[in-house]
Amino acid sequence: MSTPFYVSPQQAMADRAEYARKGIARGRSVVVLQYTDGIVFVAENPSRALHKVSEIYDRIAFAAVGKYNEFENLRIAGVRYADLRGYTYDRHDVTARGLANVYAQALGTIFSSAAEKPYEVELIVAEAGEGPEDDQIYRLPHDGSIVDEHGSVAVGGNADQISSYLDQRHVDGMTLGEALKLAVESLSRDNNGGERTLTAEQLEVAILDRTRPQQRKFKRLLGSQLTRLLADGDAGAVAAEDSSEPGSASSDSGSDSGSGSDAGE
């Protein structure tokens, strides 16, 4: 039997962190911004079926970058956690903080377990509160730490650059149109300062809209609605559209999950 080489714990952890970081950096970024009526999630994602942004519970949504199978695993675990909590206790007892803790535990355990490779993912868990000051956004890097974020946050390939761009320009009290415009601007800048144009087809956009009458505040912005918002930054468009589709039913959304039932209270 051969003796294994000695590797210092510092070195082992640094190697694992680098491995995870490199995996995450390969993918496109996701940005999350607060606006007056909620939180908007914008991802560069040409796929209509493989989502980077998803609903977890009434006021909680999830965004992720990195390896799809790994964050999809975590997403389903999160939905299961939230649904079980809400069923066992009450819908109000499901919080982003609780969910972020569960994710942190899971990621931390996997990261430091020598038997497994670290997950190449970075997550965002966000909850829309009653008002903007009650909003919560948590960023969960690959190693199981939690960062409490405010205003705007970016994860993924170009996160540092996008974050600083957003930090300089994001202000409290933006409308949805303004926040969306800023998000798209930040995503369309690439590493060497050039700009690309991102169209509605290349974007995955979803909101947690606290003004929705339904219990479930998550809604995907799709098709013509998104195109219109991108074109003129008209935030009124969403509210108008929302009230014109009674019962929330996102009619253009076979795979959309932003529907909910509120009448049975």
| Binds other proteins (CB under 8 A): choice among 56, 100, 124, 159 | 56
- Three-state SS string over 56-115 comes to EECCEEEEEEECHHHHHHHHHHHHHHHHHHHHHCCHHHCCHHHHHHHHHHHHHHHHHCCC
Quote the CA–CA distance of 217 and 56 in Å, as a whole number: 10
Q: Which residue's CB is nearer to other proteins, number 60 or number 176?
A: 60
Which residues share a beta bridge with 62? 54, 125
221 three-state secondary structure: strand
The yes or no reply on residue 255 touching other proteins (CB under 8 A) is yes
The yes or no reply on residue 115 touching other proteins (CB under 8 A) is no
Residues that contact other proteins, how many (by CB under 8 A) = 26
Quote the CA–CA distance of 54 and 73 in Å, as a whole number: 13
Smallest distance from the beta carbon of 246 to other proteins, in angstroms? 5
CA 217 to chain centre: 14
The yes or no reply on residue 260 touching other proteins (CB under 8 A) is yes
Q: Which residue's CB is nearer to other proteins, number 47 or number 197?
A: 47
| Binds other proteins (CB under 8 A): choice among 28, 81, 86, 129 | 86
Quote the CA–CA distance of 121 and 65 in Å, as a whole number: 6
Any idea what the Cα angle at residue 40 is, between residues 172 and 104, rounded to 5°?
A: 100
Chain residues 223-252 in contact with other proteins, contact rule CB under 8 A: 245-249, 251
The yes or no reply on residue 264 touching other proteins (CB under 8 A) is yes
Q: Which stretch binds other proteins (CB under 8 A): 52-60, 108-116, 145-153, 204-212?
A: 52-60
Q: Which residue's CB is nearer to other proteins, number 35 or number 103?
A: 103
Residue-wise burial string across 107-146, b where 16 or more C-beta atoms lie within 10 A, e elsewhere: bbebbeeeeeebbbbbbbbbbbeeebeebbbbbbbbbbeb
Q: Which residue's CB is nearer to other proteins, number 86 or number 98?
A: 86
| Binds other proteins (CB under 8 A): choice among 2, 3, 49, 90 | 49
131 three-state secondary structure: coil
Q: Which stretch binds other proteins (CB under 8 A): 125-133, 167-175, 181-189, 255-263?
A: 255-263
| Binds other proteins (CB under 8 A): choice among 7, 12, 14, 76 | 76
Q: Which residue's CB is nearer to other proteins, number 44 or number 55?
A: 55
Smallest distance from the beta carbon of 212 to other proteins, in angstroms? 13
Q: Which residue's CB is nearer to other proteins, number 145 or number 243?
A: 243
Give the pair of three-digit tokens for residue 143: 């190693």
Which residues share a beta bridge with 204? 43
Q: State the alpha helices, DSSP H only, in the chain.
A: 9-25, 68-88, 96-112, 159-169, 176-188, 223-232, 236-244
| Binding site residues, other proteins, CB under 8 A | 49, 51, 54-56, 76, 79-80, 83, 86-87, 245-249, 251, 254-257, 259-261, 263-264
